[in-house]
Structure 1
Amino acid sequence: MATISGLKIAVICSSNMNRSMEAHAFLSKKGFDVHSFGTGEKVKIPGSAIDKPNVYEFGTSYNDIYHDLLEKDKSLYTQNGLLHTLDRNRRIKSHPEKFQETKDKFHILITCEERVYDQVLEYMENKTPSDNSIVHVINIDIQDNLEEATIGAFLISDMCMQIAKTEDLDNDIEEVLHAFEEKCQRPILHSIVFN
């Protein structure tokens, strides 16, 4: 299938589990060339108590995490939506990926919270550029719960559709993001870094 715009997009949250994966699913259905990542040290998802998260290494398959939670407490993880989330995730790709480990290049990096935005900027600014192509880093804050992830995926999808319509991404993006920010009533952060 041909991609919608030739743009290569990455959506990034902390654990590559909920927000980035929901947006990944939406953008993929719209025909975008999209990948998703996390920036955290480990993949952390809710556990049986607030101070007892389930923690996994990046690279652990969604399938393995799904079966681990199934064994731990099927009822709890069905009720809180995690099994459903993991089922969706494993239909999209095999495992959570860490952004700092990818060699892929993107035109646009979309982060789902300011802390992740800062981590992406720090990483991009400290790595040696390979070809000095421009990368747009955009943040839209999305709370890490299932309902907000769905709303966030709609917003990210809408924003990407607007960006895809531009004649000249580098010149037009500020205008597009300003209009989008007014429309969705959420603050948007934008920085330029280099590949």
Structure 2
Amino acid sequence: MRLRHAMVCSSNNNRSMEAHLILKNHGLDVSSYGTGAHVKLPGPSLREPNVYDFGTPYRVMYDELRRKDPDLYSRNGILPMLKRNLAIKPAPQRWQDNAKDGYFHLVFSFEERVFDMIIEDLQNRDQSLMRAVLVVNMDVKDNHEEAAVGAKLALDFCKEIEAVECWEDSIDDIVTAFEKQHKRKLIYNISFY
């Protein structure tokens, strides 16, 4: 079964964009989204994040932060992250606004709070297509190293889903085997479009 995926995360696009890159590089049809009201990137202190509207081009964010403090934003990994993001797509997108993008077979989140937001959003949508969507959460710490690990694990999970004829019939076994092999707890829900 060929999948269409969506990667989502709420804090700074790091986990979802790393997964987007890995899945795309392995030939999967993938999109990535944030779920919050704005895109927040770390600033000079916790009380001073850099806040952008969804749709603000990554190039604009990159150029602005490079002008503000190139040493700080290089050292904390934000400039390299934005440079990576630029190579993937022009700007961050918001999950709740993706109705025009069609439907997805599999939606991955990397934080339980985001998983809950996705489920709530899907339940509040018009479900006229009655097409199943598998929503999976695997908690991944929001740092560059863990994002890379989480992205590779997401790819492994996608390969397992693609290997079966009907994931709906096999999902419990797939999740159990994945958790045992990778020592990572997954939560999942089947929703509908």
TM-score (norm 2): 0.96
- Which 10-residue stretch deviates more, 8-17 or 86-95? 8-17
For residue 189 of structure 2, what is the amino acid of its counterpart? S
Q: Post-superposition shift, 1:130?
A: 2.3
Aligned residue for 2:30, secondary structure, equals strand
Distance in 2, Cα, partners of 1:182 & 1:51: 40
Does residue 23 of structure 1 match 2:19?
A: yes
For residue 66 of structure 2, what is the amino acid of its counterpart? L
Match of 1:14 in 2: 10
- 1:78-132 CA-to-partner distances (Å, cap 9, x unmatched) read 1111110000101000000000001221000101100000000000011111211
Decide whether the 8 Å contact of 2:12 with 2:41 is kept in 1: no
Decide whether the 8 Å contact of 2:17 with 2:85 is kept in 1: yes
Match of 1:53 in 2: 49
Decide whether the 8 Å contact of 2:112 with 2:137 is kept in 1: yes
Aligned residue for 1:55, secondary structure, equals strand
Does residue 146 of structure 1 match 2:169?
A: no
For residue 162 of structure 2, the aligned residue among 164, 167, 171 is 164
- 1:141-183 CA-to-partner distances (Å, cap 9, x unmatched) read 0111111101111111111111111121111122111110111
For residue 3 of structure 2, what is the amino acid of its counterpart? L
For residue 163 of structure 1, what is the amino acid of its counterpart? I
Decide whether the 8 Å contact of 2:8 with 2:32 is kept in 1: yes
Distance in 1, Cα, partners of 2:78 & 2:156: 26
Does residue 176 of structure 1 match 2:174?
A: yes
Distance in 2, Cα, partners of 1:159 & 1:85: 24
Decide whether the 8 Å contact of 1:12 with 1:116 is kept in 2: yes
Q: Percent identity?
A: 43
Decide whether the 8 Å contact of 1:15 with 1:37 is kept in 2: no
Match of 1:127 in 2: 125
Distance in 1, Cα, partners of 2:103 & 2:124: 15
Aligned residue for 2:175, secondary structure, equals helix
Match of 2:68 in 1: 72
Distance in 1, Cα, partners of 2:12 & 2:177: 28
Aligned residue for 2:2, secondary structure, equals coil
Match of 1:107 in 2: 105
User: Which residues of structure 2 form unaligned runs of 5+?
Assistant: none
TM-score (norm 1): 0.95
Aligned residue for 1:59, secondary structure, equals coil
For residue 122 of structure 1, what is the amino acid of its counterpart? E
RMSD over aligned Cα atoms: 1.0
User: Which residues of structure 1 form unaligned runs of 5+?
Assistant: none
Cα 1:99–1:186 shift into 2, 3 Å: same
Decide whether the 8 Å contact of 1:16 with 1:96 is kept in 2: no
